[in-house]
Structure 1
Amino acid sequence: MKGYMSLVVCLAALTACSITADAKDLSITTIKDDPYTMSRGPELEGYCVDLLAMLSKKLGFKYKLHLVKDNRYGAMDSSGNWQGMIGEIIKGEADLAVAPLTLTAVREQVVDMTTPFMQTGLGFILHKDLASEESTFSLMSPFSTNMWVGVLIAFLLTGLCMFLVGRVSPTEWAESDTEEHNFTLLHSFWYITGALTLQGAGPHPKALSGRLISAIWWLFAILLLACYFGNFNIALHSSNKHISIMSFEDLANQDVIDYGTVESGSTMMFFKYSNNPVYRRIYQHMERKKSYVQSMEEGVRRTQEGNFAFIGEAVSLDLAVARYCKLTRSQEVIGMRGYAIAAPLGSPLVKNLTIAILQLSESGELTYLRDKWWASSCMGADRAQTSEALQPSDLRGLFVLLGLGLAVGLLLAVIELLSRARNQAKDGKKSCCSVLTSELNRRFGSGGESAEQDSLDKNKA
């Protein structure tokens, strides 16, 4: 038994050595497809280039990499001849095809393919406006969440400032116990709420500082409401407001936007030979409208222009969504498949490449490559267009104006109080600080102490 096992090991080693020797200077075909293979000057780089380098190092072969001549993945034409990378493999023009080449039954009949180095499925991308669901809180949609938070903070600060002015300003502060202090904290918020609804709520401020804050808040409220209703009107009359495309069935059941995929690719073949009635309708629509594109780049470009949905491999669509924030990918993914390396029928390379791919997967190298080449963020030009809801930065000037108004109003109230304290100090021949302290205690101290002091003063009199 031991002798038999030793013989098997030796034969396997000899086979591996012969494969490695035969694999010297392999001719490998690929296709330009971001981020799998990209041009950087005279060199090529990308996920597939790095994967090929790892496989070469692990199996010990040399290679020459070239781009496929007709810029196609591989499909059979009307005369039965294969084009693209699959065609080059069949014709002997290439020993391997290393690219996001989908493993399909039709291709497996004419070439040998390794185990997939990446799993994916079919999805579609479209403009975010076309994928938006009808919201129960559509009345909130003209402003973003951050904008609503900013409005709430502005409301609270303005109410607090009105209350402070009502206490600090001598003109607003009631002098006798029989008078009612108009601007309590509750009344201050009620007053600015009336202004925000354009109804008004009396009584109105008498001091210059209070009137200034009141005027600034009214101006802020009017401009804020104008922006809100303007944006709400645009959203209400948008031509896309009734379109909500979340699945392939939604896509097939509407005629408002067009959709398509890469011509003669595996995605088109999936819909062509599918028995699912929804997928058949999608294929018939693409055939009737001739809405195919020649490359994924063209599909992404048409999708960005609007009124078009591009159907393709989900893993490739994820990269487009990561780079262009105004695009979104469908949550539904169908037709799970994998990307594999193609070789001629009977090629001894396939077994060793499959083992190497599995080893790279188990060691986490394939995950590292995915994170490396898919790590991207939204482009700055597109980031501003991710949502039609107004952001705080859009009305930055309005918030700054309100902030300055509140600051100036408080400053005027303090100046009024200081002026009063100075005059009282002169009349009573007291220090200004003691008078100011007494005034602040009377306004912000406990009411009981103030009433007790007033009673003592009356008894003395």
Structure 2
Amino acid sequence: MEKALTLLLAVVLLSLGHTDGEENTGAAVKERTKRQIPKTVTVTTILEKPFAMKTESDALEGYAVDLLSELAQSLGFNYTLHVVKDGKYGSKDQEGNWNGMVGEIIRKEATLAVAPLTITTVRENAISFSKPFMQTGIGILLKKDAAAEGSYLFGFLSPFSKELWIGIIISYVITSLCLFLVGRVSPCEWTEPASEQNQFTLLNSLWYGVGALTLQGAEPQPKSVSARIIAVIWWVFSITLLAAYIGSFASYINNNTNHTPNIQTVEDLLRQDKLEFGTMSNSSTFNFFKNSKNPKFQMIYEYMDKRKDRVLVKSFSEGVQRVRESNYAFLGESISQDFVVAKHCDLIRAPEVIGGRGYGIAAELDSPLIRPLTIAILELFESGRLEYLRQKWWENTCSTKDQTGWAPVQTQMLGGIFLILGIGLALGLIVSFIELVCKSKSNADLQKRSCCSAFSEEISLRFGKTQSSEGVEKDQKSPTSNSCDEVKA
């Protein structure tokens, strides 16, 4: 027993020692990482909304500034932040010299670059990047009126949803069938089935339903109470649908048409000749199309290269301004375009995003800062701080002012009128059978026969079965009562 207790105590002490060792090791690694980072770090950035912007007091604010503050607090370093002198991200000239933020890092004018700097193969060979703090791609920025769809061939169907159109067609067919049945069953509509022609044939019933839907009316006019119930309910249903259609169609024309982009992919850009399109010169977007083996992307590059003096811009803000002032589509970072669209309600970004890539924090090649920065970025991501910063700086100011406020009318929005139509059709059928029962009972009393046999005979006559000549002669000799007057009375 003593040996067992001794063994158990030893295991517990070893496990506690192992746990403490792990904690001490983790703390030691974190402490060692902090010691590797200089106490003061020089950081370069670029003026690009919403990553870095100047305030009225000439200070800097934006997503990149907040991200840098979070990293400094997490890793325990101070920093001095300045804007890149030449206002460029970083590209290599023909002599192999780098400009922009990349050049400042290579020349040791800055320790880090915290900005929307795209991670590319060429830059990765010259400097080191952390793991991406934001994912992006290449989008197409357009002006809404320049990108608006002209007219749809079947745009007149848009005010109602597909489900509602199907419901209307089914309701029309069922109503026409009910009118056809009532026209045969009701003795007020078809008094003498043996010799009189029924006015509510299937074709006439269908035609009557169309006339009500178009508010034009159609012959024949119902005479029985049951047929009139169905006719009135169908007219109410038709008027309600027409009012809903007119309201929704007016809203569709005024609000929705101007917000439907005609250009949704880079292929659409190639197929049209209304808009010129381009990107920033010597940017990662331009190099993406230049180095791509995709034939469509190569055509984009050839178009821009042949017209580079006309379609290439020097900065992102210049590209946005050109989109707003002329027939021009701007190819650039989708994340930056989303910010512009959120602030300028006259712009729109096409749905397609190509060439997915990320923004990373840059340092000199093989810098010991990269690993701790990557770990800190992952911690910010897992804690939700990066998402909070994204929502903070990409707040959409057009969400309340520029919503279309339009959507196709759904079936549930008009569910009440469908319910009323169903009740009206059921009531009309019930009343028609009551009318027929009243006539059958009256004939049975006059002919001294059972009511059931008289009712069966009426049903046989009204649904295509031929009555015997003896029965016809008997009917001709026997007086009949006006059951419709009895029902009305």
- Normalising by structure 1, we get a TM-score of 0.59
Q: How does 1:72-111 map to 2 (within 5 A)?
A: 72-76=88-92, 82-90=98-106, 92-111=108-127
**Change in 2 beyond 3 A, CA 1:161/1:12:** closer
Asked if the contact 1:257/1:309 (under 8 Å) is kept, the reply is yes
CA contact (8 A) 2:140 2:350 kept: yes
Mapped partners of 2:389, 2:284: distance in 1: 24
Pairwise CA distance, 1:45: 4.6
Q: Give the CA deviation at 1:356.
A: 2.0
How far 1:101 sits from its partner (Å)? 0.4
Q: Paired residue for 2:140? A: 124
Aligned to 2:110, the other structure's residue is in SS state: coil
Please state whether the residue corresponding to 1:89 is helix, strand or coil. Answer: helix
- For 1:424, the equivalent position in structure 2 comes to none
1:281 matched residue in structure 2 = 299
Alignment of 1:24-103 (within 5 A): 24=40, 26-38=41-53, 42=57, 44-76=60-92, 82-90=98-106, 92-103=108-119
Q: Distance in 2 between matches of 1:302 and 1:185?
A: 63
| 1:191 paired to 2:179 | no
Partner Cα separation in structure 1 for residue 89 and residue 223 of structure 2: 79
Q: Indicate conservation of the 8 Å contact 1:114/1:351, yes or no.
A: yes
1:10-409 alignment, distance < 5 Å: 16-20=33-37, 22-24=38-40, 26-38=41-53, 42=57, 44-76=60-92, 82-90=98-106, 92-126=108-142, 139-144=153-158, 146=160, 174=188, 177=191, 190-194=207-211, 201-204=218-221, 246-247=265-266, 251-252=269-270, 255-274=273-292, 278-289=296-307, 290-300=310-320, 302-303=322-323, 307-318=327-338, 327-331=348-352, 333-334=354-355, 336-345=356-365, 347-361=367-381, 365-367=385-387, 369-370=389-390, 373=393, 376=396, 379=399, 382-384=402-404
In 2, distance between residues paired with 1:12 and 1:321?
44
Paired AA for residue 341 in structure 1: I
1:37-93 CA-partner distances (Å, limit 9, x unpaired): 456665655432332222112101123434445443223467865443334434555
The separation in 2 between residues aligned to 1:184 and 1:443, in whole angstroms, is 19
Structure 1 contact 163–184 (Cα < 8 Å) conserved? no
The one-letter code sitting in structure 2 at the alignment partner of 1:203 is P
On the 8 A contact 1:73/1:85 being kept in 2, the answer is: yes
Q: CA 1:266–1:185 in 2, change beyond 3 Å: closer, same or farther?
A: same
Is the 1:103–1:339 contact (alpha carbons within 8 Å) kept by the matching residues of 2?
yes
Q: Whole-Å Cα distance in 1 between the matches of residues 80 and 144 of structure 2?
A: 42
Letter in 1 for 2:220: P
Q: Which moved more, 1:197-206 or 1:29-38?
A: 197-206
Contact 1:247–1:332 (Cα < 8 Å) also in 2: no
**Structure 1 residues 379 and 355, CA, compared in 2 at 3 Å: closer, same or farther?**
closer
Give the Cα–Cα distance (whole angstroms) in 2 for the partners of residues 195 and 13 of structure 1: 80
Amino acid at match of 2:280: V
AA of the residue aligned to 1:193: V
User: For residues 442 and 194 of structure 1, do their structure 2 counterparts lie closer, same or farther at Cα, with a shift above 3 Å needed?
Assistant: closer
User: For the residues of structure 1 that align with 2:85 and 2:191, how far apart are their CA atoms?
Assistant: 95
Partner amino acid, structure 2, of 1:446: I
Q: Secondary structure at the match of 1:203?
A: coil
Deviation at residue 291 of structure 1 after TM alignment: 0.7
Q: Evaluate the alpha carbon distance shift between residue 186 and residue 261 of structure 1 in structure 2; reply closer, same or farther with a 3 A threshold.
A: same
Asked if the contact 1:89/1:344 (under 8 Å) is kept, the reply is yes
Taking a change above 3 Å as real, the CA distance of residues 385 and 91 of structure 1, as seen in their structure-2 partners, is farther
Q: Deviations over 1:153-203 (max 9, x none)?
A: 7889999999999xxxxxxx9499559997899966632414657996412
Cα 1:175–1:277 change in 2 (3 A) is closer
Report the secondary structure of 1:337's partner residue: strand
Partner SS state of residue 338, structure 1: strand
1:446 aligns with 2:465: no
Q: Distance in 2 between matches of 1:128 and 1:182?
A: 56
Structure-2 separation of matches of 1:217 and 1:13: 74
Once the two structures are overlaid, the 10-residue window that deviates more, 90-99 or 272-281, is 272-281
Residue 446 and residue 118 in structure 1: after superposition, are their counterparts in 2 closer, same or farther (change >3 A)? same
Structure 2 match to 1:416: none
Q: Secondary structure at the match of 1:202?
A: coil
The CA distance in 1 between the partners of 2:134 and 2:303, in whole Å, is 30
1:415-439 CA-to-partner distances (Å, cap 9, x unmatched) read xxxxxxxxxxxxxxxxxxxxxxxx9
Any unmatched runs of 5+ in structure 1? Answer: 166-172, 233-237, 394-398, 408-438
Matches of 1:459 and 1:82, distance apart in 2: 112
Gaps of 5+ in 2: 1-21, 180-186, 421-426, 449-480, 482-489
Amino acid at match of 1:29: T
Q: Is the 8 A contact 2:189 2:222 kept in 1?
A: no
Quick one: which amino acid aligns to residue 450 of structure 1?
C
**In percent, how many aligned pairs have the same letter?**
38
Q: What are the superposed Cα offsets for residues 243-280 of structure 1, whole Å, 9 maximum, x if unpaired? A: 876345x5446544321112332212333344555434
Residue number in structure 1 paired with 2:451: none
SS where residue 157 of structure 2 aligns?
coil
Q: Which has the larger radius of gyration?
A: 2
CA shift in 2, pair 1:338/1:159, >3 Å? closer
- Tell me the CA shift for residue 443 of structure 1: 4.2
- Backbone CA RMSD of aligned residues: 5.9
- Inter-partner Cα distance in structure 1 for 2:293 and 2:161: 49
1:100 counterpart SS class: coil
Distance change >3 Å, CA 337–CA 443, structure 1 → 2: closer
Distance 2:189 2:28 in 1: 108
Measured in 1, the distance between the counterparts of 2:171 and 2:296 equals 56
Name the SS for the 1:270 alignment partner.
helix
